[in-house]
């Protein structure tokens, strides 16, 4: 396997882990929120993250690599912290949206870092398209959080 393939696989596996983190994070938000519209939004976003991870896994296989299949340890620990914090403080709409935004901040950072690396054109196109989706998710969650905060 060439060095560029190894490098690309490493970058993609980081993004797969990020997408899996987003999937689990949005699923947790959907489970925790009472608002039916927000529950549907989070469920949809979780499915979108799953689709992104699957697309990236297919690219890794195409490069001859083994795709990541799990979430990151840091995201797992964060979800446990959020669950503990929620037990103590309650699960307000604003706090759930804050955590969703925090997760999207991490995703933005990982995708931005990936796009700063040398990637084959077909891989860069997929990462760029997915990055635009991350930006839309972030902006939508932030706007909803601001509305919840103002209420």
- Decide if pLDDT at 140 tops 90: yes
φ, ψ of residue 91 in degrees (nearest 5)? -110, 80
Residue tagged 């870092």 (tokens): 113
7, 58 contact by CB (below 8 A): no
Torsion of CA 113, 116, 118, 120, to 10 degrees: 80
pLDDT grade for 4, boundaries at 50, 70 and 90: confident
Q: Does domain 3-150 fall into CATH 3.30.420.40?
A: no
**pLDDT tens-digit readout, 14-65:** 999 999 999 988 998 898 888 899 999 999 999 999 999 999 999 999 999 9
Q: What is the pTM of this model?
A: 0.87
Residue tagged 């992104």 (tokens): 52
């Amino acid at each position: 396997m060439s060095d560029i393939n190894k490098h690309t696989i490493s970058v993609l596996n980081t993004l797969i882990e990020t997408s899996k983190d987003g999937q689990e994070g949005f699923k947790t938000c959907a489970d925790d929120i009472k608002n039916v519209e927000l529950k549907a939004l989070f469920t949809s976003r979780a499915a979108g993250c799953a689709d992104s991870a699957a697309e990236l896994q297919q690219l890794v296989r195409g490069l001859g690599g083994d795709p990541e299949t799990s979430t990151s340890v840091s995201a797992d620990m964060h979800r446990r912290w959020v669950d503990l914090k929620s037990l103590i403080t309650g699960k307000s709409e604003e706090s759930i949206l804050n955590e969703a935004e925090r997760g999207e901040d991490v995703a933005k950072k990982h995708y931005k870092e990936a796009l700063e690396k040398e990637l084959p054109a077909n891989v860069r196109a997929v990462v760029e398209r997915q990055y635009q989706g991350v930006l839309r998710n972030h902006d939508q969650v932030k706007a909803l959080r601001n509305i919840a905060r103002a209420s």
